[in-house]
Amino acid sequence: MVVWTSLPSALGNEPVLYLQCCEHNLRVNGDDDESGIAVHVLFRRPQFMCSFIGEVHMVTKLQEAGALSVTDMLREDHKKVKDLFEEFKQASDTKSKQRIAETASIELEIHSKLEEELIYPAIRAAIDDDDLMDESLEEHHVVHGLIGELKKMNPGGDRYDAKFTVLAENVRHHIKEEESEMFPKAEDCDIEWEALYARVTKRKEQLIAKSHAPSKKIRNKAPKKR
C-alpha cells in the first residue's frame, strides 16, 4: 500500500514510501482523521534512532469507500436474485413461478449489462487477470442463453422449473467467484471508483426505466374504405 510523507533529510534514502517496509524498518502508530493518519514514526535501526511526527495521506481511504459503493451495489443485486431463487423454490403455483422467473431474468439482464458495459472493463484494466475476466464473461454468456430459453418456454411445462433451477445454480456459482475473487482484487486497485459509480448508477436508472416501459405492439391497420 503506497503512502506519502515528508521525512527528515537526515534519514536520506531510507525506504519508507511503502507501508510494507514498516515491519522491518519502523513502527507506526496514529489516529485517523479526515485528511489521513497522523503518525509517530520510530526507526529501529541504530543509525536512525530518532522520532518525528509526520502526516501520512492515505489515498486508499477514499478509494476503498468508492470501491465499496460499486461492489456493494453489485452485492445487493446478488442478494436480490438469490432471494428470488429461494422464493421460486417455495412457490406452488405456475403464475407465481412465472412472475418470479420474469423478475429474476430482468434483474440479471440489467446487472450483467452494467458489468459488461462499465464495470468489467474498468476492473480488467486494473487487476491484470484476463483469465478471471474472460471466465466471468463466459459465465454471463451461459446465463444469457438460459434466460433466452426460459422466455420461450411454457411456464406450466415439465422442464420450466428445471430450467430455472439450472439458471439459479449457474448464477450462484458466478456470484461466489465474483465476491470471493474478483471483488477483493478490484477493491485493492486504484480505479476511479467515484466516476465509475456515477456512470453505473446513471446507466442502471436507464435500464430499469427501459425494463418498465410498455412493449411496443403492432397495431392492426384499419380496413381501407372502398
Q: Are 184 and 126 in contact (CB under 8 A)?
A: no
Q: Are 71 and 182 in contact (CB under 8 A)?
A: no
Check whether domain 61-211 has CATH 1.20.120, yes or no: yes
Q: Are 50 and 43 in contact (CB under 8 A)?
A: yes
Mention every residue, 6+ apart, whose C-beta is less than 8 A from residue 201: 73
**Of the candidate ranges 2-11, 83-92, 174-183, the one whose mean pLDDT is the lowest:** 2-11
pLDDT of residue 214: 74
Per domain, the residue ranges of the chain are: 9-58, 61-211
Average pLDDT over residues 68-91: 96
How far apart are the C-alpha atoms of 148 and 176, rounded to whole Å? 23
| Closest by Cα among 193, 96, 88, 177 to 137 | 177
- The burial class, CB within 10 Å (0-12 / 13-18 / 19+), for 140 is buried
Q: What are φ and ψ of residue 210, in 5° steps? A: -65, -40
Instruction: Judge whether residue 128 has pLDDT over 70.
Output: yes
Number of continuous H segments (helices) and E segments (strands) in the chain: 8, 3
**Of the candidate ranges 54-63, 71-80, 87-96, 119-128, the one whose mean pLDDT is the lowest:** 54-63
Task: Report the predicted TM-score, pTM, of the whole model to 2 decimal places.
Answer: 0.68
How far apart are the C-alpha atoms of 152 and 119, rounded to whole Å? 30
How far apart are the C-alpha atoms of 78 and 180, rounded to whole Å? 13
Q: Please report, rounded to a whole number, the percentage of residues in the chain having pLDDT higher than 70.
A: 65
What's the pLDDT tens digit per position in 186-224?
999 999 999 999 999 999 999 999 998 775 544 444 445
| Closest by Cα among 153, 151, 169 to 82 | 169
